[in-house]
């Protein structure tokens, strides 16, 4: 399956593309519409391209070429978000490859500020920003958000960091972007760790801001985090020995406490989101238990179909 729509933008530097923005979607149109509405005009202004990996098959409207001429539509029905992001990355032409999610909206000038950040940090392999919660009506949605993005809510410390924001708000120099498809695709959480292990520099920039607008529902949230845990285990199994597999399997017993510490600790110390963090803490504790159960199952049986259950 290839590109169904390919309207490539000419960049402001005489034809080459400075920025590619990659988005994966597994839901039908118009799920991705708010994201594209926040992003497309920016892309046009700087001559960027937007690549949408579509695992649904109808993630974009039939008139996408007229509505969003800078969008390249890459349909791959049944693909997981991890596979779709890597698929789009392998087709990206930009010097910088940015990633956001179909349920995110980006701030004004996000594209321009992304390029400016990379100009200011030519040494950086990857640059991440701030992720704020756009789904604030229910405690379960706060828990869903904070367990993943809590450490990356404002304020963040600009500069070199070991961990930066993940697939909602991140960009990579083209030299480190995968050029070939792997079996499961790309999980930014593990990819960023490998970059650090290879001596690459990761930068956080508090001027890059997106809003994360996701709700799974009550029971759906627990299921999603089980599938996320199993997916992480499945990705890790591609690179670990049997000894490490057993160690990680045993580590699942203490994983919930660890996850609470590393994700909620920064939120509590920042204090800005202390009220929703504390109010949602019992739900967050249940979520990390589901996540740990998912990793436990994943280390025994592999990822199964869990990657396809995530969006």
Same domain for 25 and 95, yes or no, is: yes
91 and 3 in contact (C-beta within 8 Å)? yes
- Give the Cα separation of 183 and 235 in Å (integer): 10
Same domain, 163 and 297: no
Residues 179 and 265 in one domain: no
Of 44, 50, 53, the closest CA to residue 10 belongs to: 44
The pLDDT mean for the chain works out to 94
Q: Is the same domain home to 100 and 52?
A: yes
Q: pLDDT (tens digit, 9 = 90+) per residue, 75-84?
A: 999 999 999 9
Q: In Å, how far are 192, 196, 200, 261 from 163, measured between CA atoms? A: 8, 9, 12, 15
Model pLDDT for residues 237-250, shown as the tens digit of each residue: 999 999 999 999 99
> Quick one: 40 and 111 in the same domain?
yes
* Domain C-terminal end among 209, 235, 253: 209
Sort 2 into a burial class: Cβ within 10 Å, 0-12 / 13-18 / 19+: exposed
Assess whether 194 and 118 both reside in one domain: yes
Domain assignment of residue 240, yes or no: yes
Is 98 within the bounds of a domain? yes
Residue 3 has pLDDT above 50, yes or no: no
Give a yes or no: residue 152 inside a domain. Answer: no
Same structural domain, 9 and 118: yes
What is the number of domains present in the chain? 2
The answer to whether residue 291 sits within a structural domain is: yes
Q: Is residue 136 part of a domain?
A: no
Q: What is the pLDDT of residues 107-141, one digit of tens each?
A: 999 999 999 999 999 999 999 999 999 999 999 99
In contact, 158 and 206? CB cutoff 8 Å: yes
Interval 54-99: pLDDT, tens = 999 999 999 999 999 989 999 999 999 999 999 999 999 999 999 9
- 252 lies in the same domain as 271: yes
Region 264-292: mean pLDDT is 97
254 and 190 together in one domain = no
Distance between CA 19 and CA 112 in Å, rounded?
9
Asked if 202 and 171 sit in the same domain, the reply is yes
Q: What is the pLDDT of residues 26-43, one digit of tens each?
A: 999 999 999 999 999 999
Residue 265 lies in a domain: yes
- The pLDDT value recorded for residue 11 is 39
Of 130, 305, 307, the C-alpha closest to 205 is 130
Q: Which domain holds residue 13?
A: 5-129+157-209
What is the DSSP code string of 59-112?
SS-TTHHHH-TTEEEEE-TT--HHHHHHHHHHH---SEEEE--TTEEEPTTHHH
Clarify whether residues 15 and 41 are in a common domain. Answer: yes
Could you tell me if 173 and 251 lie in one domain?
no
């Amino acid at each position: 399956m290839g590109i169904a729509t390919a309207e490539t933008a000419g960049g402001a530097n005489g034809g080459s593309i400075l920025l590619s923005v990659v988005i994966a979607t597994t839901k039908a149109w118009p799920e991705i519409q708010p994201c594209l509405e926040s992003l497309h005009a920016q892309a046009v202004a700087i001559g960027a391209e937007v690549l949408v990996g579509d695992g649904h098959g109808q993630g974009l409207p039939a008139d996408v070429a007229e509505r969003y001429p800078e969008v390249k539509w890459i349909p791959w029905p049944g693909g997981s978000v991890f596979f779709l992001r890597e698929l789009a990355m392998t087709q990206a032409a930009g010097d910088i490859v940015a990633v956001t999610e179909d349920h995110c909206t980006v701030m004004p000038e996000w594209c321009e500020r992304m390029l400016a950040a990379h100009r200011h940090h030519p040494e950086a392999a990857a640059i991440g920003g701030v992720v704020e919660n756009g789904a604030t009506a229910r405690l379960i949605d706060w828990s869903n958000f904070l367990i993943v993005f809590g450490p990356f809510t404002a304020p963040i410390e600009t500069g070199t960091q070991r961990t930066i924001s993940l697939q909602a708000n991140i960009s990579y120099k083209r030299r480190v972007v995968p050029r070939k498809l792997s079996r499961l695709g790309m999980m930014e959480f593990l990819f960023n760790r490998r970059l650090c292990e290879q001596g690459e520099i990761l930068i956080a920039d508090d001027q890059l801001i997106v809003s994360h607008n996701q709700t799974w529902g009550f029971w759906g949230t627990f299921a999603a985090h089980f599938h996320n845990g199993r997916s992480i285990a499945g990705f890790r199994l591609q690179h670990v020995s049997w000894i490490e597999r057993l160690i990680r399997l045993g580590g699942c017993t203490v994983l919930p406490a660890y996850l609470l510490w590393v994700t909620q600790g920064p939120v509590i110390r920042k204090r800005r989101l202390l009220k929703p963090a504390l109010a949602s803490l019992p739900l967050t504790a249940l979520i990390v238990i589901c996540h740990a159960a998912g990793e436990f199952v994943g280390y025994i049986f592999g990822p199964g179909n869990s990657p396809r259950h995530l969006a």
